[in-house]
Each structure stands twice: as C-alpha cells, then as structure tokens.
Structure 1
Amino acid sequence: MTPGLPPAGRPIGDLLSDVARMRQDDLPVRGGKVTAYVYDTGRPEVHEAAARAYAEMLEVNCLDPTAFPSIVEMERQVVGAVAAELGGGHGIFTSGGTESIMLAVKAARDSRPVAGRPALVAPVTAHPAFHKAAHYLGLDVVRTPVDPGTFRADPAAVAAAITRDTVLVVASAPSYPQGVLDPVAEIAAAAAARGVPCHVDACVGGWLLPWLREAGAEVPPFDLSVSGVTSLSCDLHKFGYAPKGASVVLFRDPAMRRRAYYASAAWPGYTVINATVQSSRSAGPLGGAWATLQALGREGYLRLGRDTLAAARLLREGVAGIPGLRVLGDPVSSLVAIAGSDEVDVFVLSDEARKRGWFLQPQLSYAGIPANIHITVTGATLAGVDAMLKVIAESAAAARERGPATPPPGLVELVAGLDLDALDDAAFGELAASVGVNLTGGGQPEMAVVNAILDALDPETRESILIRFLSTIYA
C-alpha cells in the first residue's frame, strides 16, 4: 500500500472531516488574534468573493496566456491598479514578495553586466528574500547598518557600499522588523548617482501606505514617483487582503521588465516563455486578488486604512503604559515591534500570549537590535485592540513572574559545537525534545527556551539549526 494514498477513493465528507481534524491546532486566520502571516478585513463577504473567484480560476494555467486570455485581462487590471497608486510602471503578477524580489534582482543583474561577481547593497533590516535571491542568482550581499535609534537605513553607509560590481541597491517601505520607512529618496539618489538601479521593497507597505496617507498619516514619497527608484514590489496578499499567492513587481522601464522574463527555444517541445519563476501555475491567486480589489474598491481600502491607523496608534499608546515594554522606533506603518527588558522576557511573553489564544510573533536580536515581539495591525484589529492590550499586559505580568527563558546549562555551547551533518533527523528530534519541543507530535509547543537558544547563537548557526528543524518536522 502506498503511504498516504488509499486503495480506493474516499467519500468527500470523510475527506473534509480529515481536513478539519488536521487543522485543529492551526492558528485562526480570522478575528485578529494572529498578528502575523494572515490579514483580515473583518468583512466575510469580501473573503467569500475572493474564494469563489479563486475557485473559478483554480484550473486555469498561467503558463500560456494565449490559451487563457482571461489571465491577461485580469492581470492587466490588477497590475494597472497597483501601478496607478504607486507611481506608474510596468508590472508582473507573482506568487508573493519573495518571487517579486527574485525577479527584481534578476532584472537588475541582467540589465547591468559587471566584470566581477555582481553584488547588491541592502540594509541589515532588508528582508531575507534579497539574500535568498542573491543565493539563487549568484550575487553577493553587502549589508549596511541602520540608525540604532530609528532603525532606518543610513544613506551615507549605502552610498559608501556601492562599487563597480553593484547591480542593485535596496530600500524598504517599510522594513518588516520595526515597521519604519527607509529614506527612499536619499538612497535612490545615491544609487542613481552611480548609475545603479534601486529597488523599493514595499511588499508590506505598498498597498497600505497610500491609504494611511489619505487617512492623515505623514508618509513621505517612497514609490516609482521618486527619482532613481527603478523597481518596486507590493504584496496584495498582505494589506491588499487577497488570498495567499498574490504580489506585483513594478518596473519603471518596460525594457527592465523584459529582463525579468525567461524564454527558452533550445528544445523540440512547446514554446517556453515565463514572466515569473514558475512555469505552470494556477490562476486561482490572480482571480482571488482581482475579486478582492473589485469587492473593496478605493472606498473600502481607505476605510480599512483609517481603522488600521487608529488601531496602530492605540496599540503604541497602550504598550507605552505597560511596565517593562517599549515600542522600537517610530513606525509610520502599522507594524509594531515591542522590546522587553530585564524584567520582561519577550520570548516568555509570546508563549504566555499564545496560552491566552493570541499569536504575537517573536523576533530574534540582530545587529544590535534587541529581541522583540512583532505585531502586524490590520483592518480587523481596531475592534479587538483593547482585548489585545489586555492580553499583552497580562502576558507581560506572567513573564515577569516566570522570569527569563533560560536554556539548560551548557546547552547553547553544545548546540554551537554540534556537527549537524553527523546527526540524522531522529537524533535532532531527540535533542529538541530535551528542551521541551516535540517536532513530530503536532500542536503548538512553547518556544521561549528554543528562541532563547537561537538568540544566543550567531546567525550562521541559527540558520543551520532552523534548516534541521524544518527537515525534522517533515521527516
């Protein structure tokens, strides 16, 4: 018998019951209690419209737009809407921010051949998708510091890092960790002065900042209207509230967009021309994104922007009144990073919040930025912001009483010295179990000690450990 495959087809009702069982330990995707990974409008009818359009387009294959003209019409409308709000340009609909960034890096590399190994310059707060793209596409990444108080990129440091091998400079609008907006105009000017493309990672903020600006927030220019910005990424499955798998990458110049494409005619099969990294891909996400934009419209997004702005302000003000906690930086967006203190361990706070039914995302320390918990405020947060603050205060008090997460003596040193290649997945699972984490039993384990161990390790070792976590979970 083939594992996972029944000998005969099963009734649909049984299948759906199994799906419900498998999802019983999942975090909820609606209601605003999960402050990362999911984005909720608080309007079920919008999500229903997107789901129905997604299902309608599910089996349409984006591989060949001449076979399915619907995808061309939908993509033109979706990309056109994004371009109209973000300074114009010529775009591609992609599966998410990582793919949008991958295409932007490819286009920059291919449009600017260099004698040495190509490199991109990115602040330490830039998303790891740039490192992933560089790893896949054969570039070096030159990291630049951010201001230790504001967490914004340092334009002078960026300018100093540009060399003859630099093919792309990166700015974030906003950067994910602290939700602050990099000085895009200054960074783009520094790149343009050297003839280097500049990409703005607006995956999180691209479809939020325009509405926050209209709602009264002070949002400086950050998009393709800024001189020197040559490309921009914007995720619609974040503050566009579309189903997952929806992002847009815009290029100022159509010639640069063509550099993102891939074509192959060196084989005897069908014509291969891809606008994205993927070849065959469902048009479901495109249909879901199109329906969401149509269902909400400008008025709907502006209303969500107003609610998001109000909720983020209330959250920051409320956190300021909780002993032992502080907001990092001055976020212009609705991403809020909350640092702890000697009294309140944020990793323990995160576990305590999860016990109370809320997920507050822990972030490790890096480059002088302290460990913190990250909260993404969405349109649905306003109705529950008082409840969220109550949980944060209760969890902070519980964390103060419990004390900091402390790894067993010698464990950090042991992990740092491990030859991970010599451990199979079973042995690694036993090691994880020794600190209270069952990687094969499902559920939602406490992670404070694990995060404390990771926080004490250097980034390279952290990455090796995380890869082994993933391998063991799927073993």
Structure 2
Amino acid sequence: MTDVLAELRALRAGDLPTHGGRTLAYVYDSGLAGLDELAGEAHALASSANALDPTAFPSLLKLENDLVAAAARLLGGGAGTVTSGGTESCLLAVLAARGDAPEPNMVLPSTAHAAFHKAAHLFGVRPVVVPADPRTFRADAGAMAAAIDESTVLVVASAPSYAHGVLDPVAEIAATAAARGVRMHVDACIGGWVLPYFRRLGRDVPEFGFAVDGVTSVSVDLHKYAYCPKGVSVLLHRDAGLRRGHYFASARWPGYTMLNTTLQSTRSGGPLAAAWAVLRKIGDEGYLRLAEETLTAVTRIRDGVEGIDGLRVLGEPDSTLLALAAATDEFDLFTVADEMRERGWYVQPQFAHESSPVNLHLTVTAANRGSEDEFLADLAASVAAARAAGPVRVDPDVAAFVAALDPDTLTAEQFAGLLTAAGLTGGGAPPARMAEINTLLAAAPPALRERLLLEFLGALYRP
C-alpha cells in the first residue's frame, strides 16, 4: 500500500497546487488547517454507500437534506437536490423547465456559463443568446425581455458571471420572466455561498435568490466558496413541484424501479458526507470570517492591479472574480500568464468574445489573504518581462489560413496535422509555455477552436 500511495503522490507532484492560493482558477482553498483531513475521513466513512436508494441508506438522505437546508437558508428557501457540480445543476434546471414543449428555447446573456449551451445540446432547447452590455458585461435586461417569445421555457442570469465577476440585473430580468409566465434560473454556482456573507459585511450586494419575485431556481456549488471537496452542488427550486421535471422514474424493465433525482443513478455517499462535515466544522461564523478574508484579498489585488502600468480590470466586479486586460498593445497577456506560471502562479487565459478582449481570469479565495503583495509583485514583474519580450506574432499567412478553415469538412488526419503545427500533441507533458499556442488559437474562429481542442482532448485520453 505504501508503494501505491507513493506512486500516486509522485504523479500528483506534477499538478497545479490546490492549496496556498497560487492556482487562481479551478480550485477553492479556505486555508484552514485540518479541513482536508476531516473531509477525507468523512468521505471514507460514506464512500461505499449508494445514494441511488435513500431507503437503503437513510444516512445519505439525512446528509442531503441537511446540505439543501443550509443552501436554502442562505438563498431564501426552496426545495432542492444535491448534484455532482455546477454543470449538472444548470443542466437539471434546463431539463426541469423544458417539459414537453415541442420547440423550446431559453434566453440567456452571452456571458452565461457554457453549461447552458451544453444543456441546449443535450436536451434540444434552442439557446437565444442576447449580447451583454459591452462596457459593464452585465446582461441587458431590456434586450432579454424582447427576446422572450411563446416558445421560451427558461430565462437565465448569473450571480456572478464567471468571465467578469459581475452580477446580472436579476430583479429586472425576473420581473419580465414572471410577467410572461416563464421560469427564471439564477446561476449562483460561484457567488451563492459567498455573496450573502459579503452583504452581511456591508457590501452592497443586490438580492438574487428567492427574495426576488420571479426567480424560480438557483444553483450554488458547495465545492466553491463553501470550501467542500469536489463535486457537490445544490440546485434549489422555489417549490418542490418545479423540480419534478428533472426527476426520472422507469418501471419498464424486469429489475428494480429506477428512481433518479439527478442525471446520475449510482451516487457515492462520499461527497455528501465530506461536504456535510465541512459545513458543520466551519459553521456560519466561520464562513463569515472566510468571506471577510476573501473580500480583503480581492480588494487589495484589484487595487494593486490598477497600479500596474499596462493592466486594467474589466467591468466593475461584484464578487471574488477578476478579469485583467491589457491597457496597451506593447505586450501579450498570454506571455504574462506564462511568466506567472514560471513564478509559481496559475492565472487562466480567456479568449476575446464580443466586446471582452483577451484577459486573465483570477478566482480569489480566502487562501490568498496575506500573499497579495507577493502576487502583485510577481504580476508586475511578469508584465515587465512580457513587455521586454514584445507581442507574440503569428505569421499572417498562417493566421489567414487557420481563420479560413472549415471545422466541419476537415478530416481527423488534417486536424492531427494542425494540432502538431500548433504544438498541441497528445501524450506527455503539455508545453511549458503556451503563449504562441494560445495566440494561434485566438486567431481561430470559435467553432474551429472548439474542434481543435476537442481533438487535442481526444489525443490526451489515450492510454
């Protein structure tokens, strides 16, 4: 057993760090000592139990109801379901709203999470995408209202949006949806657990949960700012009747009658128990302290970024997420990301979309408190290094060739050649520096970029 665990530890050594606040995407770190050990022990106690049948494992029923109740206390009530993560919560919100409508659509701002496009693909719901405000990046409530028609089954808003960390005008959007008899979902997967505490700390945070008339469902991830292990999310509906649309039952075979509350059937009790233990350990006052530490960190980082020559913050972030853009064309942000990686930090590149330019995404957590000055010094040094290196240049002929490609007509072999040319070859470690690859990907239309990266993903997942 010792050898097996040693091998696993050696493999994990090549991953991004999940603690210490140096990975500003993908992970959420409370910085609290002993929390991992508690969660791990709780997970082990329930990992073999199966939430498929709550009558066989009533402990899991108790754990799930407690998690839902905790989320409901923060967000104004509701009946809920624990899911595997934010994407599944959003999928189920769309599925519940879809019903039996013959040609349903959902209205969403262009800043809505890609999970809703996945739901549209899976469930045959046409996405009606409404451009966000080009300056604030908030959903345009008036334009969304105009997009609702007789086939609309759901309207979506974010609290906050992932890309820019801003809250959409939930109350305005919800009022319009309610007037038209349409369901309205608030994607609060990131903000749902921290923004209510920001409000208690005196931050001006508009209501976005069930205190807002017209909001019919809200999603909140416990593996984000509740600092629980992956993957635990809660989908709340205003009442139990609204969630019925994502329940599933089948007695049309000779085995047990299948009853599912989520997209999954078998569900390990491990994540439920781990999340339950973490919530009990931290408690309400503990979450208030963590929110205060996070708010201090994000404020100091934002103020510090404004003092770095050549950088600016996009929009007016309301939460814990920042998007940093270049204020000059003297350097390349993809190079800044590479330089930060060499200094031990991971910041997430985001490609240009509509009025949003290429930028670097930061997810700030409580673990960033105390290291803000070090982060800002390294960020300033990375910008200086990128400025000295100059912008990344893609051969104009190559860029024109890539932009003209049709992803629907290229063969797998041709894609393999493109991946090789782009430096995206499967197997082994990814390239240490990604600036040139990201610059080439940025020149590709979204459909081609999607296909290239899907082919790259397929190449990675080969034993």
The normalised TM-score by structure 2 is 0.96
- C-alpha distance after superposition, 1:214-239 (max 9, x if no partner): 12211011011100000000000001
Give 2:388's aligned amino acid.
E
Letter in 2 for 1:282: S
Whether contact under 8 Å (1:339, 1:372) holds in the other structure is yes
Aligned position for 1:397: 384
Q: Does the aligned pair in 2 maintain the 1:437–1:445 contact within 8 Å?
A: no
| Kept after mapping to 2: 8 A contact 1:437/1:447 | no
The farther-off stretch of 404-413 and 218-227 is 404-413
**1:263 maps onto 2:249 in alignment:** yes
Comparing 435-444 and 167-176, the one that deviates more? 435-444
Matched, 1:71 2:60: yes
Q: Is the 8 Å Cα contact of residues 438 and 445 (structure 1) preserved in structure 2?
A: no
2:356 matched residue in structure 1: 369
In the other structure, the counterpart of 2:284 is 298
How far apart in 1 are the matches of 2:24 and 2:45? 30
Once residues 409 and 22 of structure 1 are traced to their aligned partners in structure 2, the CA distance between those partners, rounded to angstroms, is 40
How far the C-alpha of 1:391 sits from its partner, in A, is 1.2
Cα deviations by residue, 1:398-438 (Å, 9 ceiling, x for unpaired): 1111112222443233334266775447x755543434444
1:461 shift after superposition: 1.5
- 431-440 or 343-352, which deviates more: 431-440
RMSD across aligned positions (CA): 1.5
Q: Deviations 1:261-307 (Å, cap 9, x if unpaired)? A: 11111111111000010001211111111011011001110001001
Amino acid at match of 1:448: A
1:386 matched to which residue of 2? Answer: 373
CA deviations 1:13-60 (Å, max 9, x no partner) are 222222122223210000000000010011121222111111111111
Structure 1 position 411 matched with structure 2 position 416: no
Kept in 2: contact 1:237–1:245 (CA 8 A)? yes
2:263 to 277, 280, 298: 277
* Residue 95 of structure 2 corresponds to residue 106 of structure 1: yes
How far off its partner does 1:448 sit?
A: 1.2
**Structure 2 CA distance, aligned partners of 1:348 and 1:254?**
50
Say whether the 8 Å CA contact 2:60–2:272 is kept in structure 1: yes
Partner of 1:14 in structure 2? 3
Quick one: which amino acid aligns to residue 351 of structure 2?
Answer: L
> Equivalent residue of 1:383, what SS?
coil
Alignment-derived partner of residue 92 in structure 1: 81
Partner of residue 8, structure 1 = none
Question: What letter is aligned with 2:113?
Answer: H
Looking at structure 1, the residues matched to 431 and 238 of structure 2 have their Cα atoms a distance apart, in angstroms, of 44
Identity %: 52
1:43 aligns with 2:32: yes
5 Å matches for 1:165-184?
165-184=151-170
Indicate whether 1:456 and 2:450 are aligned: no
Output the CA distance in 2 between the equivalents of 1:405 and 1:141: 35
Please show how residues 130-279 of structure 1 align to structure 2 within 5 Å: 130-279=116-265
Distance 1:95 1:14 in 2: 31
2:165 touches 2:322 (CA, 8 Å); kept in 1? yes
For residues 366-412 of structure 1, the C-alpha deviation after alignment (integer angstroms, 9 at most, x for no partner) is: 01211100001101111111111111101111111111222244323
Residue of structure 2 aligned with 1:338, choices 302, 312, 324: 324
> Match for residue 3 of structure 1?
none
**Are 2:309 and 1:323 aligned?**
yes
2:232–2:272 Cα contact (<8 Å) kept: yes
- Whole-Å Cα distance in 2 between the matches of residues 181 and 241 of structure 1? 21
SS class of match (1:91): strand
Distance 2:258 2:289 in 1: 43
Distance 1:149 1:268 in 2: 58
State the alpha-carbon separation in 1 of the partners of residues 125 and 406 from structure 2.
29
CA distance in 2, matches of 1:16, 1:343: 47
Structure 2 distance, partners of 1:336, 1:424, is: 37
Q: For residues 103-154 of structure 1, what are the alpha-carbon distances to aligned partners after superposition, in whole Å with 9 as ceiling and x for unaligned? A: 11011111xx43x410000000000000101110011000011111111100
Q: In structure 1, what is the Cα distance between the partners aligned to 2:276 and 2:9?
A: 28
Give distance in 1, aligned partners of 2:25 and 2:391: 23
Shift of 1:455: 1.6
Does the 8 Å CA contact 2:406/2:448 hold for their aligned counterparts?
A: no
**Partner of residue 58, structure 1:** 47
Q: Is the 8 A contact 1:25 1:443 kept in 2?
A: no
Cα distance in structure 2, aligned partners of 1:117 and 1:35: 40
Deviations along 1:416-467, one digit per CA (max 9) or x if unpaired, are 4266775447x75554343444431115532112221222222211211111
AA aligned opposite 2:322:
V
Q: Is the deviation greater in 437-446 or in 412-421?
A: 412-421
SS at match of 1:332: coil
CA contact (8 A) 2:51 2:61 kept: no
| 1:4 corresponds to | none
| Secondary structure, aligned partner of 1:468 | helix
Q: Which amino acid aligns with 2:185?
A: H
2:425 and 2:412 map into 1 onto residues whose CA distance is 16
